Amino acid sequence: MGPGKVNEDLVAERRKCTFDTQELTYIIDGGKEETQKRHEVENIVTSIPELQDPIPEEYMSHKEKYENAVRRACYVTKALKNFVIENATKPGPSNRYRSAEAATKDVTPMALHFSMFLPTLLGQASPEQQEKWVPRAVNMEIIGTYAQTELGHGTFLRGLETTATYDPTTEEFVLNSPTLTAYKWWPGGLAHTANHCVVVAQLHSKGVNHGVHPFIVQIRDEDTHMPLPGVKVGEIGPKLSFSTANNGFLGFDNFRVPRDAMLMKNAQVLKDGTYVKSRLSKLTYGTMVFIRVMIVTDMAYYLSVGATIAIRYSAVRHQSKPKENEPEPQILDYVTQQHKLFIALASSHAFRVTGQWLWTTFVKVNKALTSGNADTLPELHAVACCLKAVTTRDAASMVEACRMSCGGHGYMTSSYLPILYGITTAACTYEGENTVLLLQTARFLVKAWEQAVDRKAMTPTVAYLVGAGDQRGAWSSQPSGITRGMQQVAAGRVRSAVEALQKHVKSGMAYEDAWNAASVQLVAASEAHCRAVLCEVYWTETERLAAASSRELGAVLKQLAELYLVYWALEKGGDLLLYSNISKTDIAYLRDRYEELLSLIRPNAVGLVDAFDIRDEILHSTLGAYDGRVYERLMEEALKSPLNAEPVNQSFHKYLKPFMQGKL
């Protein structure tokens, strides 16, 4: 669509904004220089002429969508080669990559190459193996994926059935899929894109099963791309979303790979088949911890997309006439609409800030691991698990709220919100199903509670548990008071879950059965712990950011963070009444304050989403474009429907007419 006049409601909204949106953009990107680099990437991506689609992706067949996505991915990756080479071996949260990734509407078939294949090589391969594989992967001479999940097992990794049996006579591993349920199932890009993959398999040597280990395996000929003999590979079919991610299946029929296919940074198999144990078995799960950490920032990004679309649309859309003599208000003026949307806005900031904090923690723990100290790994695993689970669940439900808040038009694919929902809800399952991950955190919390009761020294994220059961502190509705209250709720929930567990054990149940019986409470305890972490990290970091910002922006940042705290305090009002000293009067105060915060944020709502600085080409939305020409875009997209190419469809003559005339 050519340039047009900006919708006048949006012009007025932008005039109302009380702070400099660019100042906030720099904060979101992590500094002015990062914003500039992101713009460079976006300028490159959006000026690739080959990215014009022949017809809108939605009207393509499943096969055409894939072929189109490969075409786009190749041109984008080629254009960004310098950035890829510069940054591929320096993983970390960055908006630059998000922007490039967003050049495809749905998930690119190369996502797993960058997000898991390369990080696994960097984290699990020995220095010699890295020398062999990393340059080829970075230069994209080979394309890889991460093949762990099987048809029969995704969660229970110890239950995986693919075997890698060492044969010392040829110094090879024999990969085999002994059953149908042993087939790898789900890996992105596996079906027709990747020619290599990391395969996670049960390692057998000298007749002993040493558990699951990663292997780098070539599955297709590098020239013809034909599957190698002994490899059965294909696509798993259409899904709720991820329609262009090319998720695949993979089976092995006694397929041989050299000994050095096993990624040997941690455990090794020597030439004679001797198994050398890793100093810490859970290091094999390292890539998953890394991705869970990254997902928190991904969710911040997806929420910024959802909020941008829904808030701009709500500023443009007018509906109903509460006062007969006045014009129809913008739907953004309805407080219920603000209630649906401003929490998505605030959560995007909360997740970005917490994602950065988690990344810093991850880097520290990995540094310690390199020097042989694994003491902080359990805490990292626990906090990464619950943050992955809670941020993905919140992002999915808030993106869905954004979609619903756009009424009928939010249901249109051209709004982008249905695709965005498909992408965010997938994150509730991939990289560890959310309930399962919350139960992992619960394991840690149960132990932490026992230590807290003994008043032993506690690691930072659970330090609040010490003495938590003894006395309820005075309630304060100030942000730091709410944070303390959320910690009291978490401590109360952990205590109740531990008591339930102990009660079941005392009644004679096996520990595993008692765990299952108490698991609803254990999951609730994990969630409460996670909310306490989110509230504390977000508020503490906001105070720092606000102090370093202009007065105008500082005030807005604090309003958003306070809105987040008050929202969750009200959501968890029942728990606060149970576990803290909050009173009915305090709850009434919080309700008033919440409404006040909504009205304080209202004039800056459009400015706040403008500050996310998401270009129209990346937003892919008829409802959320910068100029707000919503109706023109909706009609223009509708007219692209192939059904509109002819006034009468052939089905009329074939079926409708004979049917209506009783001649069918």
Residues tagged in the binding site annotation for FAD:
149, 188
CA pair distance 53, 60, nearest whole angstrom: 10
Q: Which residue stretch of 185-193, 261-269, 547-555, 625-633 sits at the interface with ligand FAD (rule: CB under 6 A)? A: 185-193
Q: Which is nearer to ligand FAD, 511 or 655 (CB)?
A: 511
**In the complex, least distance from residue 288 CB atom to ligand FAD, rounded to whole angstroms:** 9
Q: Burial-class residue 642 by CB neighbours within 10 Å (0-12, 13-18, 19+).
A: exposed
Q: Name the 3-class secondary structure at 330.
A: strand
Could you tell me the two tokens for 508?
Answer: 């004679």
The active-site residue out of 57, 431, 527, 541 is: 431
Residue 323: alpha-carbon gap to chain centroid: 43
User: Can you say whether residue 281 is alpha, beta or left, with left for phi > 0 and alpha for psi between -120 and 50 degrees?
Assistant: alpha
| Binding flag, residue 149, ligand FFI (CB under 6 A) | yes
| Binding flag, residue 100, ligand FFI (CB under 6 A) | yes
Q: How, if at all, do strands 163-167 and 196-205 pair?
A: parallel
Q: Which is nearer to ligand FAD, 109 or 624 (CB)?
A: 109
Our answer to whether residue 431 is catalytic in this structure is yes
**In the complex, least distance from residue 145 CB atom to ligand FFI, rounded to whole angstroms:** 9
* Total residue count of the chain as it appears in this document: 664
Q: Which residue stretch of 33-41, 409-417, 424-432, 542-550 sits at the interface with ligand FAD (rule: CB under 6 A)? A: 424-432
Among 25, 108, 243, 434, indicate the residue that binds ligand FFI (CB under 6 A).
108
Beta carbons of 48 and 80 less than 8 angstroms apart:
no
Beta carbons of 159 and 130 less than 8 angstroms apart:
no
Backbone angles phi, psi at 271, to 5 degrees: -55, -40
Residue 13: alpha-carbon gap to chain centroid: 31
| Binding flag, residue 188, ligand FFI (CB under 6 A) | yes
| Binding flag, residue 149, ligand FAD (CB under 6 A) | yes
Among 139, 155, 336, 550, indicate the residue that binds ligand FFI (CB under 6 A).
155
Q: Which residue stretch of 26-34, 435-443, 551-559, 614-622 sits at the interface with ligand FAD (rule: CB under 6 A)? A: 435-443
Q: Which residue stretch of 2-10, 89-97, 142-150, 210-218 sits at the interface with ligand FAD (rule: CB under 6 A)? A: 142-150
Q: Which residue stretch of 96-104, 342-350, 471-479, 582-590 sits at the interface with ligand FFI (rule: CB under 6 A)? A: 96-104
Per-residue binding letters, 94-123, with ligand FAD (x by CB under 6 A)? ------------------x-----------
Q: Which is nearer to ligand FAD, 158 or 551 (CB)?
A: 158
Q: Burial-class residue 224 by CB neighbours within 10 Å (0-12, 13-18, 19+).
A: exposed
CA pair distance 209, 198, nearest whole angstrom: 19
Per-residue binding letters, 521-550, with ligand FAD (x by CB under 6 A)? ------------------------------
Residue type, 138: V
CA pair distance 55, 58, nearest whole angstrom: 8
| Binding flag, residue 84, ligand FAD (CB under 6 A) | no
Beta bridge pairs of residue 535: none
| Binding flag, residue 431, ligand FFI (CB under 6 A) | yes
Beta bridge pairs of residue 268: 276
| Binding flag, residue 663, ligand FFI (CB under 6 A) | no
Contacted entry of ligand FFI, ligand FAD, none for residue 435, CB cut-off 5 to 8 Å set by kind: ligand FAD
| Binding flag, residue 77, ligand FFI (CB under 6 A) | yes
| Binding flag, residue 148, ligand FAD (CB under 6 A) | yes
| Binding flag, residue 97, ligand FFI (CB under 6 A) | yes
Per-residue binding letters, 349-388, with ligand FFI (x by CB under 6 A)? ----------------------------xx--x-------
Helix axes 335-370, 286-316, angle to 10 degrees: 160
Residue type, 277: K
CA pair distance 530, 525, nearest whole angstrom: 9
Task: Count Cβ neighbours within 10 Å for each residue of 317-336 and write b for 16 or more, e otherwise.
Answer: beeeeeeeeeeebbbbebee
CA pair distance 243, 108, nearest whole angstrom: 9
SS3 string, 105-117, reads CCCCCCHHHHHHH
Sites of contact with ligand FFI (CB under 6 A): 73, 76-77, 80, 97, 100-101, 107-108, 110-111, 114-116, 146, 148-149, 154-158, 188, 282, 285, 288-289, 377-378, 381, 430-432, 436, 440, 443
Positions marked catalytic: 431
Sites of contact with ligand FAD (CB under 6 A): 112, 146-149, 153-155, 186-188, 242, 247, 426, 429-433, 435-436, 439
